[in-house]
Amino acid sequence: MHSRRDALHALAVTAGAGALTGLAGCAGDAPAGSGPGSTTASAPTTESTTTHSTDAPAPTTTTSRSATAEPSSPTDLVVTETAPAGAPSPPSGVATGDAPDGPVVASLAVTGPDSRDLLDGNPPHSLWVVNATDRPRDVSFRLSTRGEPVVERTATFPSGGRAFLELRAPASYEVAVESAGNALREAIDESWFDCNRSSSTVAVGPDDVEMESVSTMLECVSVTPDGRIGGR
């Protein structure tokens, strides 16, 4: 896994007209498990984000993903339906503006083989797709990696309705969302998967589709097998 940025990632993209064909997404039926943690060293406790703070407090002890871990391939990934009642809300004020807190249209977890997480003790990356308008919208969204689809869904989102995806398998993903002739295609780089809590929110607005990503900003440190302490 490549190095995380020295400065915090932040992006907001507005895209024009486009189309995306929505299909039914693949889904497993086993609950996600817990991946093994790596040996850790203390990290600073200061927390910051690009524009908004995430709801969860920053940890005081961190782990980093093994440098020898292989990125997830599409055939290794499992998509599992999770309980909508357990889906969190997007970070307050991020991308969604004054959109109401509507119902959960879909709640999914993306994991490795046998529904295991591949996080090495690090937090997952959260992804929301939200209808930030005051009326129902037909929304198509697709999550892919290495050019192959992982999730493809088309659904009618009520005002404030949201889909929640918890990415528990580190990889470089592409998010594509289309609604009412407006489309967005944006990347979630694998470097987002480290000791920091991070999330991306796609907001479907009246005239555009935008995505904003936020993260805490701890220095991630680890102890190598030969006892050296590294950071990134």
Q: Within a 13 Å sphere around the CA of 204, how many CA atoms are in the beta-carbon half? A: 31
Per-residue model confidence as pLDDT tens digits over 87-124: 888 877 666 666 667 899 999 999 999 889 999 999 99
Please calculate the CA angle 39-172-116 and round it to the nearest 5 degrees: 50
Instruction: Compute φ and ψ for 191, nearest 5 degrees.
Output: -65, -15
Confidence of residue 130 (pLDDT cuts 50, 70, 90): very high
H/E run at residue 106: strand 104-111
Q: Is the pLDDT of residue 26 over 90?
A: no
Output the CATH code of domain 41-54+73-231.
2.60.40.10
Handedness of CA 63, 73, 167, 4 (dihedral sign): positive
Q: What is the mean pLDDT of residues 22-49?
A: 38
- Determine the pLDDT at residue 90: 83
> Strands, DSSP E only, in 30-102?
41-42, 61-62, 78-81
- Percent of the residues in the chain that have a pLDDT greater than 70, as a whole number: 59
Q: Is the pLDDT of residue 143 over 90?
A: yes
209-215 and 78-81 strand pairing = unpaired
162 or 16, greater pLDDT: 162
Domain layout of the chain by residue ranges: 41-54+73-231
- Determine the pLDDT at residue 225: 63
Q: Is the pLDDT of residue 32 over 80?
A: no
Q: Within a 13 Å sphere around the CA of 92, how many CA atoms are in the beta-carbon half? A: 3
H/E run at residue 210: strand 209-215
